[in-house]
Structure 1
Amino acid sequence: MKTKAKSIEECQTLFEIEVTKETLDKAFEDVYDEIIKVANIPGFRVGRAPKELVKKRYEKSAKEEVLKRLIPEAYKRALEDHGIAPITLPEISDVQLEEGKSLIFKARTETRPKFKLKNYKGIRIEKKKIAVKDGDVDKTLDNLREANAKYVGIENRQLQFGDYAVSDLDCFVEGKPIHKKRENLWVYVDKDSITPQLCEKMTGMAKGEERDIDVALPENYPDKTLAGKPARYHISLKEIKMKVLPNLDDEFAKDLNKDSLEILKKEVSKELENRMRLGAEVDMENQLLNKIMDDNVFDVPPSFVARQLSYMVEDAKRRLAEKGFKKDDLDKRGKELAGKFKNDASRQVRLLFILDEIASLEGI
């Protein structure tokens, strides 16, 4: 058997493999002998049909079986001959198979990147200083108040900015609904909302009132095919709610199972300090890994990059879907996202091999 191995770009090896005529002839003989034993040919008892007739009738099946036996064996020997450890299954191509001649084919496989790890010890990095400020504590307390807010029904006035409108809502573009009817939808009536015109025209509504409102959908509407188009909303206002924040006092602290506001503030400060410390550790780790990767640049297997890129794109599409983007729009964004994440995907794969090499060198 003859084999040639040629390294090509991006951690790939191309083998040119030739199996001798003698080996091929023997494989055909073995296969045809096995077929003869079970071949059911009219006019002949099983196992008694002439070999030439069997060859004529079962030539295609015999070739498939010969390839199934010889290609894996020849490929394995080629790997051993050239000392190559593949990390993917081979792609077989350019198969030349004819009885009485040699079997010739090519096999392309991906291999581990070859690199000598540099500069992964003694790296200097910066540690962020940790300091919890009063403003940080105050902001967290405000968030806790928001999370524990109560929503009180309003009966004696009309809807105004700052209220929550509990509504049934339909939206039509060119007379056709663009989504299923939304029932009991909470709409925060705010000038800075995604649909400020809608919110403005909702003000003044009374509980139980129905109203048709004509507005243009915002340019940043999730479905780009509808962005900017004239739309009609049919709104049925079922309730008006006002958010009421709890007072920042000992009673509020007790509602959170703390003995006093002072104790709550101390625990918030301690939790913020722990988060900052964890963030500083993550930042140092990122500094370290980035410096190692900057000093160790090499090609990585394309199939690994493709898998990582696919994961990153699908994860991004999932998060966009949670924000209301439709499937058609997400599919259109696939190519854009792939271009955006390609370098990051390659970098993540390179980091995988770097960390694996460090583990090997350090006996981890």
Structure 2
Amino acid sequence: MKVEVKKIDSIKRELRFEVSKERVSKALEGVYLEIGKIAKVKGFRKGKIPRHLLESQYGPTAKEEVVKKLIPEVYQEGVDKEQLHPIDMPDIEDVSFKDGKVAFKATIELKPEVSIKDNDYVGIKVKRKSNKVSDEELNKTLDYFKQGQGKDKELTIDDAFAKGLGYPSLEEFKKSLSRQMEADKDRSNKLDVENQIVDALLKKAKLATPKGLVKKHLEQRVNEMMERLKKQGMSAEDLKKKEESVRKDLSEAVEKDIKVYFILDEIANREKIEISEGGNLPLKVMEYLLKEAKWEEVK
């Protein structure tokens, strides 16, 4: 097996492979052996059919099977030999079976190198809003209840109203509502802090964008969105019109998500952060960054 590696850019590589006649011949022998076990040729028992008859009837099929078998084997051997670490499946092109040899081209993207200083991710300054619910906020929410359930008549928010919702008194309803609002604020405020950390990481870190991976994930996200719109009853014509704007809207977010993943992965390696099987590495790293962040409480 011969492999030639061409550097396209900092993370993209083009690998050209050539598989020797000897290896191809051996692979063909194995394929014809398997074909011979199931092939039907008049006058011959299965497993006893001469090779030249199998070649005349199943030649194209046999070559196709050999190519299917050899490409993944040879590709993996090549990246291992060259000590390359692709971040996704390769794009396979220029496949040929000529003069007894198999050749093909594989284009891959490598894990981007992340440049970021330790003090750029340890001790990130973040501002966290208070979870406390003010009387004004509580009263505004009560007004929503009043408008939402009052229908055509004036609705009084009192003990009777609270009991209708399953609470012993208006005071108990207010306490429960306040706790729910605090929980909602807590989730929102935590997400806001995480976004501040992400923005700081993206500002400080330098890394190449793996465009192939971004394109693949973008198409997945676009397809998911279009499928949701289709289930919601959008017509085929409107879906076609909508697709390009959906792709444009999602493009930046997908690229951001992928860059953040590699930044968090780099931090995990530096800080020796490990996860159990089935664990979420970005979540674990974010927990570490939140713990190390410099917090400021704001109203």
The verdict on a shared fold, with TM-score over 0.5 as the criterion, is yes
Question: Which structure shows the bigger proportion of residues in helix conformation?
Answer: 2
- Corresponding letter in the other structure for 1:86: P
Give distance in 2, aligned partners of 1:258 and 1:43.
88
Counterpart for residue 352 of structure 1: 261
- What does residue range 87-166 of structure 1 map to in structure 2 within 5 Å? 87-100=87-100, 102-118=101-117, 119-129=120-130, 132-150=133-151
The yes-or-no answer on 1:298 pairing with 2:208 is yes
Give the whole-Å Cα distance in 2 for the aligned partners of 1:312 and 1:24.
Answer: 41
2:11 and 2:208 in contact (8 A); partners too: no
CA drift at 1:39: 5.4
Change in CA separation of 1:120 and 1:313 when aligned onto 2, cut-off 3 Å: farther
Superposition deviation, residue 139 in structure 1? 0.9
* 1:314–1:66 CA distance, 2 compared to 1 (3 A): closer
User: Which deviations, in whole Å up to 9, do the C-alpha atoms of 1:166-218 show, x marking residues without a partner?
Assistant: xxxxxxxxxxxxxxxxxxxxxxxxxxxxxxxxxxxxxxxxxxxxxxxxxxxxx
Instruction: Report SS of the residue matched to 1:282.
Output: helix
The aligned amino acid for 2:124 is I
Q: Identify unmatched segments of 5+ residues in structure 1.
A: 151-242
User: Which runs of no fewer than 5 residues in structure 2 stay unpaired?
Assistant: 275-299
Structure 1 residue aligned with 2:160:
251
What residue is the counterpart of 2:27 in the other structure?
Answer: 27
Alignment size in residue pairs: 270
Give the drift of 1:265: 4.0
Question: CA-to-partner distance for each residue in 1:82-137, whole Å, 9 max, x for gaps?
Answer: 1123343333221221244x322112234433324442211112223455443312
Does the 8 Å CA contact 2:114/2:262 hold for their aligned counterparts? no
Identical-pair percentage: 33
Q: Distance in 1 between matches of 2:35 and 2:166?
A: 81
**Distance change in 2, residues 1:140/1:10 (3 Å):** farther
Q: How does 1:13-52 map to 2 (within 5 A)?
A: 13-32=13-32, 40-42=40-42, 51-52=51-52
> What amino acid is the match of 2:270?
L
Q: Hey, what does 2:4 align to over in structure 1? A: 4
- Structure 2 counterpart SS, 1:97: strand
More strand by share: 1
Q: What displacement does 1:338 show?
A: 0.7
**CA distance 1:278–1:97, change in 2 (3 Å):** closer
Structure showing greater relative contact order (alpha-carbon pairs closer than 8 Å, 6 or more residues apart): 2
Shift of 1:11: 4.6
What aligned pairs does 1:176-325 form with structure 2 within 5 A after superposition? 243-296=152-205, 297-300=207-210, 302-308=212-218, 310-311=220-221, 314-315=224-225, 318=228
How big is the shift at 1:304? 5.0
CA RMSD of aligned residues (A): 3.4
Structure 1 contact 87–112 (Cα < 8 Å) conserved: yes
Distance in 2 of aligned mates of 1:272 and 1:115: 40
- Matched position secondary structure for 2:16: strand
Q: Give me the TM-score of the superposition, normalised by structure 2.
A: 0.73
Tell me the distance in 2 between the aligned counterparts of 1:24 and 1:294: 51
Residues in 1 aligned to 2:218 and 2:243: alpha-carbon distance in whole angstroms:
14
Q: Residues 17 and 104 of structure 2 are in contact (CA less than 8 Å); yes or no, is this contact kept in structure 1?
A: yes
